[in-house]
Amino acid sequence: MALAGLAAESETEETVDPAPTDDSVAEILDNPLADEDYRKERSCLWRREIDSVEIVDESLVVFRGRVKDRVWVNRFPKPCAGLRRDMVVTTRSRTGSICRLDAIDARPRGASPFEPAVRCHLGGFEEIDELQVEAMKRAVEEHAKAGRKSKDR
């Protein structure tokens, strides 16, 4: 009888994870994840995925996808001097994909293909949504305006 009571008692016990201790919470907060751990980044895009390329500034370009409104932002490892938003971009790749460290060329609209291009080397491709693109553009524009105002002083 005592065994039956013990068996019934063990069936009703629940395993509960202990609450995190202050030490484990403090350890997590003291050791945050790197920025890369929060991003969905790719090293390469298939050329057939890309519909268009938009220059945001000397450090950022946006690749717009052909399907499902997919958008990727690419931050150059180093700012690309001379790159302007109104330039036409061509991709440089010998394969069916464009990858980190591949180059893009940009020329003024209407320029001859024989004119020298601004060449920029790519970083990783981070998938973002259209709201993030617009917020990024606003932030870049505000930063540029703030820079112009400080030069005028």
Q: Average pLDDT over the chain, rounded to whole?
A: 83
Domain assignments of the chain as residue spans, ordered by start: 40-152
Residue of higher predicted confidence among 145 and 44: 44
Reported as a single tens digit per residue, the pLDDT across 90-122 is: 987 788 999 999 999 999 999 988 899 999 999
Strand 50-55 relative to strand 71-75, pairing: unpaired
Q: What does the DSSP assignment read for 1-69? A: -HHHHHHHHHHH----PPPPPHHHHHHHHHSPPPGGGG--EESEEEGGGEEEEEE-SSSEEEEEESSTT
pTM over 0.85: no
pLDDT at 3 exceeding the cut of 50: no
